[in-house]
Structure 1
Amino acid sequence: MSILNKSRLLLVFIIVAIFLSGCMNKPKPEEKIYDILENVVAKEKDFEKQQEPLVKLEKREKELYDKIINLGMKDFEEIKKLSDEASTIVEKRKNHMEKEQKSIQASKKEFESLSPIIEEIESQKLKAKAKKLYEIMMDRYKIHDTLYEDYSKALQLDKELYAMFKKEDLTLEQLENQISEINEMYEKILSSNKQFNEKTKDYNEAKLDFYKEAGLEINTDE
């Protein structure tokens, strides 16, 4: 064999070796999905951070509301003072809710990138589990959108209530109507929040199931 032919053969071997190396190092669809799902967890960290301060603010606002109701119209100046403080808390709650929604939307954007990758999975059983996982999570996002919308409406109603408390000509009928509307809205919020928590549980179980079927390393510290 000539030196030229040997050189060509060596070149072909190198090209094939590089090609095979590239194929071998290419991540599997399930591995890409794993990376995305872990990124989704990271995107929702800010969502989780809002929960504790929101609960504390809601508790403090409830204390102020109870004080206002117990005062009646006996100390109007104190009512105005408490109403202003409560209204400030409503704004703080709104800020936390905005951060929560922003975090969820970032999570959703990351999660949606799964759709085309799922179709690359060769195993039909694994693909079915991935599709189920995707469906559950998208339902979860829809529920949170409803939760966010209703919570925003409730905050506006709360603001209106505290503004009403500062009016000396406020009638009992006006107050009862406003409180009734607020209570109805928070009943919807409680229902949506329950659904959201249930979907979150379902999603975590489906994710664990997918990881096990795919033979992926599971992070049990989540």
Structure 2
Amino acid sequence: MSIFRKTCLFMVFVIVMLVMTGCLNKQTPTDKIYELLETVVATEKDFEEQQDPLVELERKEKVLYDQIISLGMKEFDQIVKLSDEALAVVEQRKEHIDREKQSITSSKEQFVAIVPFIEELEEEKLREKANALHQTMLERYETHEELYENYSTGIQYDRELYNLFKQEDLSIDELEEQITKINEIYAKVLKANETFNEKTEKYNDIKLEFYKEAGLDIKQKSE
């Protein structure tokens, strides 16, 4: 056999091996969806980290609020001092809710890339499950947007309240009106938060169903 023929055969062998390697390493739509979903989990880590600090700040502010309303106008200087402390806590809450929002926004930017891979799924049942997953997550994002907007409005109302406390000529009517606004907006926050948690739970359930339907070894994938 000539050197030329040997070289040609070798080149054909290399090409075949490269093609086979490419086929073996090629990700399926299911694999790509899995990777995207797990990336979303990592992206929302910062969101999770805001929960405990927010709850603690809300408790701290409640203590300050209770102290303020227990004081009389003879202790106005103390009311002003406590109001300033409460305002500082409100600003810290704002920082945490903004970081939470940024994390959810980044999560959504990652998640929307799932659509073309869903369309590539050949099994109808698997595709239906993936579509349900996609729709539920979009509803979850929408609910968080509502939650964030209402919470931000609540923060603004809280600012107004503590600045009112710093006015010596504050009337009972003004105070009651502001507290009513605050109670109403946080009722909306509570409702949105409950819906958000429900959507999160539903999403996680559907995601596990999708993994099982796709035959993914979740334990192995997670390692």
Bin the TM-score by the shorter chain.
over 0.9
**Residue of structure 2 equivalent to 1:129:** 129
Residues 1-222 of structure 1 mapped to structure 2, 5 A cutoff: 4=4, 7-219=7-219
Q: Which 4+ stretches in 1 moved above 6 angstroms?
A: none
1:163, distance to aligned residue in structure 2 (A): 0.2
d(CA) in 1 for partners of 2:8, 2:161 = 84
CA shift, 1:73, in A, is 2.1
Compared CA separation, residues 219 and 79, structure 1 to 2 (3 A) = farther
Distance 2:139 2:219 in 1: 24
- Paired residue type of 1:108: K
RMSD between aligned alpha carbons?
A: 1.7
Distance apart, 1:114 and its partner CA: 0.7
Structure 2 residue ranges without an equivalent (≥5): none
Higher helix share: 2
Q: TM-score, normalised by structure 1?
A: 0.94
Identity of aligned residues (%): 55
Deviation at 1:124, TM superposition (A): 1.2
Deviates more, 1:10-19 or 1:210-219: 10-19
The CA distance in 2 between the partners of 1:165 and 1:154, in whole Å, is: 17
Tell me the distance in 1 between the aligned counterparts of 2:104 and 2:115: 18
- CA–CA distance in structure 1, aligned partners of residues 94 and 217 of structure 2: 38
CA apart distance, 1:7: 4.6
- The aligned amino acid for 2:143 is I
Give the secondary-structure state (helix, strand or coil) at the position aligned to 1:71: coil
Supply the AA of the counterpart residue of 1:23. Answer: C
Whole-angstrom distance in 1 between the partners of 2:124 and 2:4: 49
Cα deviations by residue, 1:116-170 (Å, 9 ceiling, x for unpaired) = 1111111111111111101101110010011111111100100010000000111
Q: CA deviation at 1:11?
A: 3.1
TM-score (norm 2): 0.93
